[in-house]
Amino acid sequence: MSETNGRGVSLHTKILIALLAGAAAGVTVNFLTPKPTPAWLDHLITYVMRPLGDIFLRMLFLVVIPLVFASLALGVAQLGRMGNLGRIGAKTFAFFLITMSIAVVIGLGLVNAVEPGVGLPRDTQDFLQKEFGKDAAKKTDKTTTFGVETFVNIVPRNPLAALVNMDMLAVIFFALLIGIGLTRISAERAQPIIATLEGINDLMIVIIGWAMKLAPLGVFALIFSVTARFGFDLLIPLGYYVAVVLIGIAIQMFGVLSILLATLARTNPLEFFQKVRNVIITAFSTSSSSATLPTSIKTAEEELDIPPSIAGFVLPLGATMNMNGTALFEGVTVMFLAQVFGVELSLGDQLIVVVLSVLTAIGAAGVPGGSLPLLAMVLTTVNVPGEGIALILGVDRLLDMCRTTLNVIGDLAAAMFVARSERGGPEVTEPGPREADGAAYGAGGADGA
């Protein structure tokens, strides 16, 4: 597929230009305007930029539930009929758990070495607590207990309610049951349901194509809204903390995942990152694994030649359960705030942080800021004040953009590993993506996506 489809500049280039332009415009406005934020800028963000960005995000979110349900049920049905479901499921979950655990360990190693929370000035702490205390309280009051009940709730009492409320773990469980059930009934009875699911899948792809036409405008508005309000002012007092998180993300993405791609997936990491650049831009600008999922599935099938059954199984699971970036961020943040408040965490405490960071990352919502409520629970578990989240809230959107990028790249790396491990490679496991999918995307105008 041509990157430009014969129509000039490719979509990923337009999005990248919009992202850079939005960041430049926002930082410039922030630098030139007095503090606190003047009323005209607040109105511009509240009534123009943020609504434009939210419309773009909503266009992506509206297809997430039907796309996850249809693609996952189809993937399970196809893999189940080939007798591959158990083996592929084991490989997928093993990859998820191992890479997330490595990410947290990398984060804890860096934060112990750099100690970004030691010596943070008291006046800076007071300023951040005053500036973001109310927002932190709103986010932490959503905290729920994370234990046996969390796993019980994965089994939905009402599947329709789970779909309506975007309860992703419950939706995934229901889709898995539907997919497995389709392998247990006769092909004659299963075929109409499979055809319906394929129709839903194709229809969602057409809608994604329409949504992606809004991507440059939506990305500009989203990035402008963040940079115009905060600029780089907050990066100075929290610079070491931000640097530790970003370095950890870079090591996990370009180090660990690249090694795994080269050794386990037998894929050139440079070629891989070149092919997934549209996914990287979408994840960075939306800060949402769920919103990026449609682009991830299309890229996996068309650019990486991953069979639709494997992409449809691994990527929806990954968007909810495989959170390399979130796990790393939670581990670093817990240690950073422990250092700020003078709480000594022993090796045993840090092992608890590793386990809880992985588990809560699995349970975090794949939306902007979705990990913060569960992060507060991890903090209180190791006796660090949960309200300390206020200290990092100002820079969280930047870090959310970066950790979401790592999350979705981890999903694609997992899909590549699973596909390559199945009988030597994707090309011999199953034919490429359906022609209808590609045609729908082309019709939707997703240039080079």
Q: Is residue 4 part of a domain?
A: no
Polymer length of the chain: 449
Reference 329, options 361, 352, 304, 307; nearest CA is: 361
The domain in which residue 168 lies consists of 11-444
Q: Is residue 217 part of a domain?
A: yes
Rounded Cα distance, 132 and 422, in Å: 49
Confidence of residue 133 (pLDDT cuts 50, 70, 90): low
Which pTM value belongs to this model?
Answer: 0.77
pLDDT digits (tens, 9 = 90+) for 219-273: 898 888 877 876 665 666 678 899 999 999 999 999 999 999 999 999 999 999 9
Rounded Cα distance, 316 and 314, in Å: 6
Residue 404 or residue 432, greater confidence: 404
Q: Is residue 449 part of a domain?
A: no
The conformation of residue 214, written as its DSSP 8-state character, comes to T
3-state secondary structure 256-274: HHHHHHHHCCCCCHHHHHH
Res. 31: pLDDT tops 80: yes
pLDDT digits (tens, 9 = 90+) for 199-213: 998 888 788 778 878
Question: The tokens of 439 are what?
Answer: 């045609």
Count of domains for the chain: 1
Q: Is residue 5 part of a domain?
A: no
37-46, 230-239, 269-278, 291-300: which is most confident: 269-278
Instruction: State the first-to-last Cα distance of the chain, in angstroms, to the nearest integer.
Output: 10
What pLDDT, on a 0 to 100 scale, did the predictor assign at position 446? 35
Cβ pair 168, 366 in contact under 8 A: yes
Look-up of token digits 């890229």: 299
Q: Is residue 6 part of a domain?
A: no
Whichever domain contains 391, its CATH number is 1.10.3860.10
Q: Is residue 3 part of a domain?
A: no
Reference 247, options 328, 340, 164; nearest CA is: 328
